[in-house]
Structure 1
Amino acid sequence: MPFKKLHADIKEILESLEITTPTPFQSKSIPVIKSGANVFCTAPENSGKTTTLVLTTLHKLKCQEVGSAPRALVLVENSVKGLALHDEFIKHTKYDALRIYACDDREHIELLKSEIFEGVDVLIATPKTMNKLLLLEGVNTTQLKILSIDDAEFLVEKTAYAALMAITQSIHKCQYVLYSEKMDPILKRFESYFMQYAKTVSIK
């Protein structure tokens, strides 16, 4: 059972939320993501993709804060989705052991920079904001272990696609996990760039 092999803190939270049985998608995807491979995850809505993203990120970071630079980055389509994802992380985090920060695009970039500088474990941002932060040297990517993209269909849009490509060029080495409902040819194209040797987990 995928949940049984997750960090003890996560299992405790899942029990308190009365989540005991993984969805078919979670059963299939969690072991592959935990292996450290780059993964394309495709499944319909309400398959448990977002929860999988949260659980595997927490597991990768061993549910503890370390240093000040982000060790996980989650890219989202917009700030509304980013703030909703932030709430999901908090729901699954024990005693706020990890510092989760969602960039709100409506805030001034200098404010985002100063708040990230205070120390973040999981950073949630749109590709545009993340790219802007990198250009202003407002975020350190040297400690990144995993980069996940939630509902990745938005990357077919040119500016989001270009921003993502710029972001990945500034990351030395990390695991990439991309979640979407369907595999768009544009998403598949990432295999030639940063998703080398990617595995695919698909539920219909």
Structure 2
Amino acid sequence: MYLYRMPFKKLHPQLQEKLASFQIESPTPLQCKSIPVIKSGINVFCTAPKDSGKTTTLILTTLNRLKFEAVGNAPRAVVLAQDKERAIELYVAFLAYTQHTPLRVYVGHEQLHVDIQKSEIFMGIDILISTPKSMNTLFLMNGVSISELKIFSVDDAEFLVKQSAYAAMLSITQSIKKCQYVLYAEKMHPMLRRFEDHFMEYSKKIRL
């Protein structure tokens, strides 16, 4: 077992084992700054350059929040991605950490019929990875329960500056009463900052 510097040694033991198996010995500067803040449960804007560890941070903090437990049928974590291709990439990345565990990860996108998504989600999931349009359609059709949602993360959130994605995000979050939001991006775009007036109130900004 590798000896971890903070904040890895504060993560769930199964995450520490996974990191050791991937030979990831110590956190990046971004992970040192962001993981303790995200673990506290507050809303966070996390901005850092490409290849600084944002995606791994998203995965680690999501899995740590869910404690590697499968609970109920409704998703307790949502991850929003720009498009189908990126959603599938994130799904594969999550599976590397969740295989041989009880956690159920599901990926949806607009190319997959919404009725199929509804029926598969109904069977029970813990983490839902989706695109803005697909997620919004599910919400409007009551295709996914948000009653147990704990953490909502957005990967490479720059795509939310597009009007359609921005509107979809606002529509989605209007239905969620209580949840932690974490937005990852390379830069803080003025459109992203507008979310502070909606669901990102009292948010912490972490920059690298």
**Where on the TM-score scale, by shorter chain, does this alignment land: which range?**
over 0.9
2:129 is equivalent to residue 132 of structure 1: no
| Equivalent residue runs for 1:63-78 within 5 Å | 63-78=68-83
Find 2:28's aligned residue among 7, 17, 23.
23
Query: Pairwise CA RMSD of aligned residues?
Result: 0.7
For residue 104 of structure 1, report the CA deviation from its aligned partner.
3.1
Q: One-letter code of the match for 1:145?
A: K
Aligned to 1:172: 177
Equivalent pairs: percent with the same residue? Answer: 57
**Residues in 2 aligned to 1:63 and 1:19: alpha-carbon distance in whole angstroms:** 19
Structure 2 unaligned segments of length 5 or more: list them. Answer: 1-5
Aligned to 1:194: 199
**Is residue 41–residue 177 contact of structure 1 (8 Å, CA) maintained in 2?**
yes
Aligned to 2:167: 162
2:58 is equivalent to residue 53 of structure 1: yes
Structure 1 stretches of at least 4 aligned residues deviating more than 3 Å after TM superposition: none
Aligned to 1:90: 95
For residue 93 of structure 1, report the CA deviation from its aligned partner.
1.8
What TM-score do the two structures reach when normalised by structure 2?
Answer: 0.96
Q: One-letter code of the match for 2:78?
A: L
**Residues in 2 aligned to 1:154 and 1:165: alpha-carbon distance in whole angstroms:** 14
For residue 105 of structure 1, report the CA deviation from its aligned partner.
2.2
For residue 92 of structure 1, report the CA deviation from its aligned partner.
1.4
**Is residue 68–residue 101 contact of structure 2 (8 Å, CA) maintained in 1?**
no
Aligned to 2:188: 183
